[in-house]
A = this chain, B = another copy of it.
Amino acid sequence: MSIKTANQTVLERLTGAQPFLVDCRPAREALGLPDRTVCHAGPPLPWDRACPTVQAAILCAIRYENWAPDDAEARRLVERGEVAIGPCHDRGAVGPMTGIITPSMPVFVVENRAHGSRGHVAINEGLGKVLRFGANDDSVVERLRWLATEAGPVLGEAIRAGDGIDLRSLMAQALRMGDDMHQRNMAASCLLARALMGRLARVRTETGAIARVADFVAGNDQFFLNLAMAVGKATTDPCLGVADSTLVVTMARNGTDFGIRVAGLGDRWFTAPVEMPIGLYFPGFSQDDANPDMGDSAIVETIGLGAFAMAASPAVARFVGAGGLQDAIRNTEEMAEICLGEHPHFRMPTMDERGTPVGIDIRKVVETGIAPMINTGIAGKVPGTGQVGAGVARAPLGCFVQALQAFATRKAS
């Protein structure tokens, strides 16, 4: 197949996905995730190379699962290999920031009906002290247990009670409502909450639980972020292994390495050290407090959202330090320079209905020197801190250079 034909095939898969939210159930059931396994964000990561924030989240998850009573014992289990760690991406899942998933955690199930693939993601915990930003105290564990015992089962029953919820049309709508679906998920979260409210009212359980779940969903403006990521996973997995394609189908970070995968190069990761995001910090924090870039959330940039859709979200542009509408449009135009196409469904009223740029071509990235931009939250580098800000990160060019070399070698062989 020619590169051009291969890339066109991948672009069609990237833009032709039909993602539906169909379930919420424990990871052990949905993913077949084995006991004593902790999934994390980004490319594979030996324990001793993990940053303290990711390590703290892994240890906290082990305590949450009652596999160890404290961090010291939890650490021993990991070091002896009695608890396995590995990327979410290898298990059909994605996770924001530290990206932790363990077997008892409920995960949303997103089915891509165009290609039969599924993407999975944990329930967004909300803001403040949360596991994904490396917080690890009792309040974090308590919330995780509530998600597993009450929120997950209630949401699962509500979702299963009707047809799948069409996430492509929901996301297309949210993009018209100022979401980039990475830093800002206000509209998508509201649209999802509205889609769930009638179903929740029909869940057959005592009403206290429904009200608590309704309040939890309603109280989290980033609730949809995780769903957007699962859509990205279900959309991009069918692109892996399309021979001769130079399009990027995974971007992910683990706080140590930034990794990409390319359609024509199978499941091989090309990694380089993560960079520091540049952005705005919450009061009392500065760049000195920031952990290097992390999370699987860059999957949304891979499907034409996040920083690639900045023009749709002038409110975010300001928040992440990118200025006003014209700056936001310039960002989207810059990303268009490294993309093969425009998304036929994700259209931006602020750019007179142009589609968001999608289909990052490693050749264009290397040729122009323009690294993909990623809108991102910023975690504290001291474990237990939580989120300290939000900003924009760049994918390291090294990943793309390596991938292009591998591609050239493969074509030559």
Contact = CB atoms under 8 A, between A and B. Distances in A.
Contact of A324 (B176, B215, B353): B353
Nearest to A314: B349
A190 B194 contact: yes
A321 to B, nearest CB: 15
Contacts of A178: 176-178, 349
B201 A211 contact: yes
Contacts of A382: none
Contacts of A406: none
Contacts of A349: 178, 314-315, 318, 324-325
A127 to B, nearest CB: 16
A190 B177 CA distance: 11
Contacts of A194: 189-190, 193-194, 197, 217-218
A353 B214 CA distance: 32
A288 interface: no
Contacts of A187: 177, 187, 190
A210 interface: yes
A40 B208 CA distance: 42
Nearest to A327: B352
A207 interface: yes
Interface in A230-256: none
A379 interface: no
B193 A201 contact: no
Contacts of A314: 349-350, 352
Contact of A217 (B177, B190, B197): B197
Nearest to A195: B218
A155 to B, nearest CB: 13
A73 B331 CA distance: 66
Given A200-B201, A324-B353, A325-B352, A173 B186 contact: yes
A370 interface: no
Nearest to A317: B349
Nearest to A174: B177
Can you list the 10 inter-chain pairs with the closest CB atoms, starting with the nearest?
Answer: A190-B190, A314-B349, A201-B211, A198-B215, A324-B352, A177-B177, A198-B214, A193-B194, A197-B214, A197-B197
18 contacts: A176-B315, A177-B178, A177-B187, A189-B194, A190-B193, A190-B194, A193-B197, A194-B218, A197-B200, A197-B214, A197-B217, A198-B218, A200-B201, A201-B214, A315-B349, A318-B349, A325-B351, A350-B350
Given A190-B193, A195-B218, 7 more contacts: A177-B177, A177-B187, A197-B200, A197-B217, A198-B218, A314-B352, A325-B352
